[in-house]
Each structure stands twice: as C-alpha cells, then as structure tokens.
Amino acid sequence: MKYLPLLGALLLSASPSVADDFVYLKCIGTVQRGEIKLSGEKSEVTEELTLHFKIDTKEKFYIDSNNPENQHDVKLWNGVAFEQFTDFKEPAMGIMNSQIAYDPPGKMISKTTIRDNNTSVEYTHEVSGICESSDASAYEASK
C-alpha cells in the first residue's frame, strides 16, 4: 500500500498532458465552403483535409500548422478546446465557433459565417473531422 501513491505520481508524470504543456493532434475530415450572393444564388464546395494542431494547455491557445503565425486563444474544458472569434477585418463581419476534443482526442468541428458588407455576400465555412494523438515531429513536418 505504501507504493500506491508513488505509482500514481509516476504514472501522472509520464502522462503527456502533465509532463508537457503541449498536445499534438492530427485531424482528418472535410471542409465545406459556401457562398450566398445577394441575388440568392448559392454555391458550395466540399474538400477533404488533414490538419495538425499544437495545443498549449497551460497558456490556453492552439496553432494550426498550416498557419503557424496565427495563435488561436481558447477556453479549455473537459478535454475540449473551445474558440469563438468575431474580430474580422472590415468590411467583413461574422462569427466562428470551433471545438477540438484533445483529451481524449476526438471530434473537431468548426462553423464560420462571414458577411462582406461591401457586396452583401455571405460566406460559410464548416469543418468536421476526427482527431488522433500525434507528436511534435509530425506537427513540424506538416508545416
């Protein structure tokens, strides 16, 4: 019984989320981009995608390897990173909501709606997929 607390401490120190503040994910899914013009005309394109994320659980942000200079501030709760973004540059306005399950790795979803105030065109962007654990070398190689 004396060794039980020691064993627990050793297991926790080996856990990636405790031993390191970074979690790396590889997420595979689809992105659906849409456009709705003022006339009501709609267009839509769906593509497959692979994303690599680096999530800093201490400082509470993530970085996508496709855009490493853009840090996304998030709220972390129950192993999920939540992001809401509304600070689009003029003349656009809109909202983006994203969720990435990282502990344990799981679903990734994101939905964005943006309106161009100059043209009154509305753009949509929906991402969905499944994430799995990855590592720093895979993240760096995906840049």
- Residue-level pLDDT at 20: 76
Instruction: Check whether 9 has a pLDDT greater than 80.
Output: no
Higher pLDDT among residues 15 and 53, named by residue: 53
What CATH topology corresponds to 20-141?
A: Porin (2.40.160)
Q: What sign does the CA torsion over 34, 28, 14, 80 have?
A: positive
Predicted confidence (pLDDT) per residue in 60-119, tens digit: 999 999 999 999 999 999 999 999 999 999 999 999 999 999 999 999 999 999 999 999
Residue the block writes with tokens 């973004």: 85
Question: Coil, helix or strand for 100?
Answer: strand
d(CA 76, CA 7) in angstroms, rounded, equals: 28
Residue the block writes with tokens 């509304």: 86
Predicted confidence (pLDDT) per residue in 119-138, tens digit: 999 999 999 999 999 999 99
